[in-house]
């Protein structure tokens, strides 16, 4: 059996998540922040959400969403990846 680590998924649809909410999520036991960086256009809130999640103590897991109607390379090129 694999151990699971609780986490939260934040995409561009949640917008800019305030630091107090990140701190609360962590206090409630969430440990991984899965943050969408492109859907397929760039998530304009990704960079600040990455920074706030990291400040709260989260492990970061960026992801992108690829649509069949948009070339994958185009989506990857627009993604904001943590650490860039």
Q: Which residue has the higher pLDDT, 71 or 48?
A: 48
Q: Do 37 and 80 touch, CB atoms closer than 8 A?
A: yes
pLDDT at res. 80: 63
Q: Do 72 and 53 touch, CB atoms closer than 8 A?
A: no
Give the residue from 17, 28, 21, 38 showing the smallest Cα distance to 7: 28
Over residues 45-58, the pLDDT tens digits come to 999 999 999 999 99
Q: Do 15 and 41 touch, CB atoms closer than 8 A?
A: no
**Distance from C-alpha of 35 to C-alpha of 44, rounded to nearest angstrom:** 12
pLDDT at res. 5: 93
What mean pLDDT, rounded, does the chain reach? 90
**Distance from C-alpha of 71 to C-alpha of 18, rounded to nearest angstrom:** 32
């Amino acid at each position: 059996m694999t151990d699971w680590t609780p986490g939260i998924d934040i995409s561009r649809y949640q917008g800019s998540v305030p630091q107090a909410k990140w701190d609360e999520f962590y206090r409630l036991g969430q440990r991984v922040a899965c943050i969408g960086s492109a859907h397929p256009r760039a998530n304009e809130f990704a960079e600040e959400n990455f920074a706030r999640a990291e400040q709260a103590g989260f492990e970061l897991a960026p992801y992108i969403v690829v649509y069949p109607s948009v070339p994958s390379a185009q989506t990857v090129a627009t993604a904001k990846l943590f650490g860039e």
